[in-house]
Amino acid sequence: MAANAPPFDVMREIITRVHSPADLVSLCLASTHMRDACGSAVHGVALARHGLFVRLRRVRTVLAQRGEFVRRETGLAALLAPAAAADSIALRLERAPHGLHDLLAATQKALSCVENQSLVEPSRLLRVRQDLTHAATLACLIAWRQGARERQRQEQHHHHHNQQQQQQQQQQQQQQQQQQQQQQQQQNSLVARAVQTQGLTLGEPALFAA
């Protein structure tokens, strides 16, 4: 009955059952101790909660620092899904194919740093390793494709260079032929002038003499 009664009725029932002033004093002391114990418990819970919040902030700060380190070392925005990470690495390799070894070395370094941390779950490390394996495979394929493109570009450049050399040689030959023709024409004109001059100087006296 006391359990289902209102608080004031319970207190009234307890007080009416007290048979002596000593019992009342003991009840008051017990209530005081209980109140102090409840206050200490509430204070302890508050301190523990505050301590948990402080630790949580520290953990978040440490995780943010580690994430920043991983982003700085690998150049990735975050630990993305395999497709997104592969696309990001593919884009970086297409922009700078010669940095493949540097990128893989930085990724391995970041992964080793993550593995040394005790707060990282093994399942997450396994996913990171799988992502790294997929990314490394894709990087090798992209590097091979980039190498094939580079070889094709060099072949095209070499072929274009040979064509330019051939065109330059043809132009030089044409220029030489034109120069030879001009020189031949100049020589022919000089010879014709000389013949005309000699004919006039030699032929005119004979005409007047006749």
Same domain for 95 and 155, yes or no, is: yes
User: What value does the mean pLDDT of the chain take?
Assistant: 70
| pLDDT for res 56 | 79
Fill in the DSSP letter of residue 116. Answer: T
Q: List b or e across 16-40, with b for residues whose CB sees 16 or more CB atoms inside 10 angstroms.
A: eeeeeeeeeeeeeeeeeeeeeeeee
Q: Which residues constitute the domain of residue 130? A: 80-168
26 domain residue, yes or no: yes
The set of residues, in sequence order, having a beta carbon less than 8 Å from that of 93 and lying 6+ positions away, is: 99, 100, 103, 139, 142, 143, 146
How many structural domains does the chain have?
2
Same domain for 33 and 103, yes or no, is: no
| pLDDT for res 197 | 66
3 domain residue, yes or no: no
Same domain for 51 and 85, yes or no, is: no
188 domain residue, yes or no: no
| pLDDT for res 170 | 85
Q: Is 143 exposed, middle or buried (0-12, 13-18, 19+ CB in 10 A)?
A: middle
Among 148, 147, 156, 153, residue whose Cα is nearest residue 97:
147
Asked whether residue 207 carries a pLDDT value surpassing 60, the answer given is no
145 domain residue, yes or no: yes
110 domain residue, yes or no: yes
Same domain for 103 and 161, yes or no, is: yes
Same domain for 35 and 106, yes or no, is: no
Fill in the DSSP letter of residue 96. Answer: -
Q: For the segment 41-56, what is each residue's pLDDT rounded down to a tens digit?
A: 888 888 888 878 887 7
Q: For the segment 113-149, what is each residue's pLDDT rounded down to a tens digit?
A: 666 665 666 677 777 777 776 766 776 677 677 777 7
Give the pTM: 0.27
Same domain for 40 and 92, yes or no, is: no
Measured distance CA(10)–CA(4) in Å, rounded:
9
73 domain residue, yes or no: no
Same domain for 52 and 108, yes or no, is: no
13 domain residue, yes or no: yes
